[in-house]
Amino acid sequence: MFERIYEPLHPDYRVYRDFLKHLPEESTPEDYQTDQELAKPCLPVEKPVSTDVLQIPLPAFSHDILKKPDILSVLQDRVSRRVFKKTSLELEALAFLLWATQGVRKVVPVKNGKASLRTAPSAGARHPFETYLVVRNVTGLEKGIYRYLPLENTLAFLKPGDFSNETIEACAYQRFCGLAPVTFFWSVLPYRTEWRYAYISHKVIALDAGHVCQNLYIACEALGLGTCAIGAYDQEKADQLLNLDGSEEFVLYIAPVGNY
């Protein structure tokens, strides 16, 4: 039997550990049904974008883009990198990173909606995330805020401008986040997952976020780029930066990317 040899800083911490557990079915009401079982419509696979928003097609890429095609080397060398050169990021490299993290391989029908099979795994193929980019120095792109549209494989240009300072503030004043050529912001639309998994959704959403960011780490290392997962950020400022409502959609994870 495991003997606890420490005392938690706060005894209430143990209460929150239930979040990590798969609760038994008998802990829910007998008549409990998910919205999927109730035949309610699910959210679309991709958040809609206004027709007047400029969409920029992403370039194709090939194996030639990889500087480390050996998966053993990629996993061995992968580390968090917080110092980036002042050189620009190639658009082809950004296209690869977006495909590696949220690229759609196939859209499939499900009861009362659709699901997408992507390069990163997700519970029930719900993929509750949207990818926003704060672009500072990417070849061929104007500075500003973009959103990746995985079904079209395009970038929606949401807002022009240099948002370096706003990014630094949103990332709890971690300066390297705002000085990187591009910073990934993943927002979550919880209902995409809640529709199917209800009370256990928030555990699997957290797991899914890890899958996505790990794919970014692996893809960056294969390209000779650096990244660092950011979990410490100002929720309100991050949501305001991307014009999110903070309830039905909000920032969950951040990662700057650049040359090192």
C-alpha dist (Å) from residue 169 to 59, 143, 173, 235, 257: 32, 18, 5, 10, 17
Tell me what pLDDT residue 19 has: 80
**Residue pair 115/192 in contact by the 8 Å Cβ criterion:** no
Res. 159: pLDDT tops 90: yes
**Residue pair 46/143 in contact by the 8 Å Cβ criterion:** no
Alpha carbon distance 217, 101 (integer Å): 9
Three-state secondary-structure class, residue 99: helix
Tell me what pLDDT residue 244 has: 98
> Which residue is it, tokens 């503030």?
169
Res. 42: pLDDT tops 60: yes
* Helix residue ranges, H only, 34-114: 71-77, 91-102
**Interval 84-126: pLDDT, tens:** 999 999 999 999 999 999 999 999 998 888 999 999 999 999 9
**Residue pair 96/148 in contact by the 8 Å Cβ criterion:** no
**Interval 209-256: pLDDT, tens:** 999 999 999 999 999 999 999 999 999 999 999 999 999 999 999 999
List the one residue out of 259, 238, 59 whose CA is nearest residue 141. 59
Tell me what pLDDT residue 4 has: 58
Tell me what pLDDT residue 121 has: 97
Tell me what pLDDT residue 7 has: 63
Res. 1: pLDDT tops 60: no
> Which residue is it, tokens 């519970």?
123
Tell me what pLDDT residue 153 has: 97
Res. 2: pLDDT tops 80: no
Residue with the bigger pLDDT between 17 and 131: it is 131
The residue-averaged pLDDT of 189-210 equals: 94
Tell me what pLDDT residue 16 has: 78
Q: Could you say which architecture CATH assigns to the domain 13-259?
A: 3-Layer(aba) Sandwich (3.40)
Where in 120-191 does DSSP place strands (E)? 129-135, 144-149, 154-160, 182-188
Tell me what pLDDT residue 29 has: 60
Q: What percent of the chain has pLDDT over 90?
A: 83
